[in-house]
Amino acid sequence: MMRRLATLATAAAAALALAPTATADAPQALPKHQLTGYWQNFVNNAQPLRVSDISPNYDLVALAFANADPDRPGAVTFGVDPELSEALGGYTDEQLKADIAAKKDEGTSFVLSVGGELGNVDLSSEANVASFVDSVGKVLAEYGIDGLDIDLEHGIDVDGTTSAVRQLREQVGDGFLLTMAPQTLDVQPGGAYLQLAENLKDVITVVHTQYYNSGSMNGCDGQVHDQGSVDFITAQACTLLQVLRPDQVSLGLPAAPSAAGSGYVEPSVVTAALDCLTAGQNCGQYTPDQPHPELSGVMTWSINWDASNGNAFSDPVRAHLDTLP
């Protein structure tokens, strides 16, 4: 993901026994075929947005990103980025909380994203895990956020991350949403995120692999596919479909050419990949052995880049998702 983010610190912190129980309202059920987008809590060349300005095209919003707490190693913090507030002419934490609540009343769900292009978290010790769980739980409760998005792109400790997620879910309860945004390499056979998905498949909401900034990758058809094609998406999605239910699998693509270093495709390629995976239609060289009509949907980086481009990604993709059975 395109992001400047302080590296999450790693050190001992408060024990999990002292962590408060999160009290975020239970999220509404996500639609069968959902569109997920990342909201940028920072400023770059994309259009800055208040959460209230997010297009209704989006069912699930990942708030990007949590930051390191410089005073508490291992913990994370979250609030309106000062530069974003300035760019918007003033935007406070209380206004963000109110906007999240209003969007939730309209049926939108929210997850707190941890990681990004530059972010990292070390969950290799019990103390680090406890600190992470405590701080994330507090943010979820304070802002009314429904769950966690894992976008760690610099290596993950599978066992530690598994433990952290299960402890957070125990705090929040059955309504806890869990999403992940692995890079393509991480969900190749033997990849860390594939192992994590295996560990957490009973609680995962959706995994939306980033089918961009990748280069060529092996497909489950035994062929090497270059990014930017229908086959690049579909022949990799089938690997994840061997681990997760179809309703736990989504397709991640950039919202505009400027949103990623490489891998942007026209929305027509995205909708063709959806048709291929859900109905065996509009495929490229690779056709799945069986259709998966329950496939979750699409994720995009980012809502801001989509808005900068006049919703040229979300409008047609949303419309197509609504036609799927």
What residues act catalytically?
153
Distance separating alpha carbons of residues 294 and 239, to the nearest angstrom: 16
CA dihedral 84, 1, 283, 278 (to 10 degrees): -70
Q: How many of the other CB atoms lie within 10 Å of CB of 323?
A: 10
Q: How many of the other CB atoms lie within 10 Å of CB of 25?
A: 12
Distance separating alpha carbons of residues 10 and 97, to the nearest angstrom: 28
Query: Is 224 in contact with 216 (CB distance < 8 Å)?
Result: yes
Q: How many of the other CB atoms lie within 10 Å of CB of 304?
A: 27
Pairing of strands 249-254, 206-210: parallel
Distance separating alpha carbons of residues 178 and 206, to the nearest angstrom: 7
- Return the exposure string of 88-123: e unless at least 16 CB atoms fall within 10 Å of the residue's CB, then b: eeebeeebbbebbeebbeeebbbbbbbbbeebbbbb
Q: What is the DSSP string of 138-190?
A: HHHHHHT--EEEEEE-S---HHHHHHHHHHHHHHH-TT-EEEE--BGGGGSTT
Query: Is 277 in contact with 232 (CB distance < 8 Å)?
Result: no
Query: Is 298 in contact with 270 (CB distance < 8 Å)?
Result: yes
Distance separating alpha carbons of residues 177 and 148, to the nearest angstrom: 6
